[in-house]
């Protein structure tokens, strides 16, 4: 809690994150190579048409296929770029996390030490943690023969495989604090 940047660095260094980034980078390179080859393919198709290898109808079909391939590659590259941008934390986001840790880190530490003795501190810590975490996503996989499970075994049982904890962005936290403390103003009421 005191150093959220370390948590992000740890999350980035996980094998699953690195493998995902590597997989996405390879996919992007493949789609980009296919996209880069399209102009030469078009030239080749036009040359084949000039030589009489196929008629006008076949030419239109092949050119439409190239356009479809271009659209598909561009769409996939955009999706991959979006996924890669989610994996990489921007410098501004890092700076805002550092500022947040500097301003509120001591309060979080105090709440952790007082939570065992004081119910009010426990509730404050509970509220703070719920405010920091946007959502927790648990990915599951089917049970395999190698898995050891305590308790009663069930048919088609799933096992937690990975947990993603998504934190609120610092600006969302500030908005939530303003809304909590002062209420949201709505001129339309």
Q: Which domain holds residue 71?
A: 4-87
Number of neighbours of residue 17 by Cβ within 10 angstroms: 13
How far, in Å, CA of 189 to CA of 182, rounded? Answer: 16
- How would residue 122 be classed by pLDDT, with cut points 50, 70 and 90? confident
Instruction: Give the C-alpha separation, 159 to 151, whole Å.
Output: 13
User: What local confidence, expressed as pLDDT, does residue 43 receive?
Assistant: 95
At residue 182, the pLDDT reads: 44
Residue 187 is assigned to a structural domain of this protein:
no
pLDDT tens digit string along 168-182? 766 555 555 545 544
Rounded distance between C-alpha atoms, residue 45 and residue 53, angstroms: 9
Torsions phi, psi for 161 (to 5 deg): -110, -40
Tell which wins on pLDDT, 174 or 189.
174
**Quick check: helix, strand or coil at residue 52?**
coil
Q: State yes or no: pLDDT of 3 exceeds 70.
A: no
* Per-residue pLDDT band at 45 (split at 50, 70, 90): very high
- With cut-offs at 50, 70 and 90, classify the pLDDT of residue 53: very high
**Domain annotation covers residue 188:** no
189 part of a folded domain: no
Domain total in the chain:
2
From the list 103, 92, 90, 91, the residue with the least C-alpha distance to 177 is 103
Same domain for 177 and 95, yes or no, is yes
Q: 39 and 107, same structural domain?
A: no
pLDDT for res 13:
58
Q: Can you read off the two tokens belonging to residue 108?
A: 């979080």
* Residue entry with tokens 């075994």: 153
User: Do 96 and 175 lie in a common domain?
Assistant: yes
- Mean pLDDT of the region 17-42: 90
Task: Report the alpha-carbon distance of residue 115 to residue 1 in Å, rounded.
Answer: 15
The answer on 98 and 64 residing in a single domain is no
Per-residue pLDDT tens over the stretch 77-97: 998 888 877 666 555 566 667
* Shared domain check, 171 and 137: yes
The mean pLDDT value for 124-139 works out to 81
Residues 58 and 9 in one domain: yes
Q: What is the mean pLDDT of residues 120-143?
A: 82
Q: Are residues 141 and 118 in the same domain?
A: yes
Of 55, 87, 119, the last residue of a domain is: 87
Region of residue 183 (left: phi > 0; alpha: psi -120 to 50; beta: else): left
Across the strands, what pairs with 163?
138
Same domain for 65 and 27 = yes
8 A C-beta contact, residue 28 and residue 22:
no
Residue 172 tokens read as 């969302």
Do 100 and 137 share a structural domain? yes
């Amino acid at each position: 809690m005191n150093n959220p940047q370390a948590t992000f660095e740890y999350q980035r260094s996980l094998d699953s994150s690195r493998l995902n980034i590597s997989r996405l980078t390879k996919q992007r390179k493949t789609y980009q190579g296919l996209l880069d080859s399209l102009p030469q393919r078009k030239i080749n198709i036009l040359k084949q048409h000039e030589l009489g290898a196929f008629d006008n109808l076949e030419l239109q079909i092949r050119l439409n296929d190239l356009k479809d391939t271009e659209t598909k590659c561009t769409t996939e590259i955009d999706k991959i770029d979006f996924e890669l941008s989610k994996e990489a934390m921007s410098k501004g986001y890092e700076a805002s996390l550092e500022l947040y840790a500097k301003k509120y880190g001591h309060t979080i530490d105090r709440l952790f030490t007082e939570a065992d003795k004081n119910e009010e501190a426990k509730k404050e810590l509970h509220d703070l943690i719920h405010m920091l975490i946007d959502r927790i996503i648990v990915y599951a996989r089917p049970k395999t023969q190698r898995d050891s499970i305590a308790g009663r075994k069930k048919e088609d049982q799933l096992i937690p495989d990975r947990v993603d904890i998504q934190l609120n962005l610092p600006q969302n936290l500030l908005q939530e604090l303003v809304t909590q403390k002062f209420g949201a103003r709505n001129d339309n009421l």
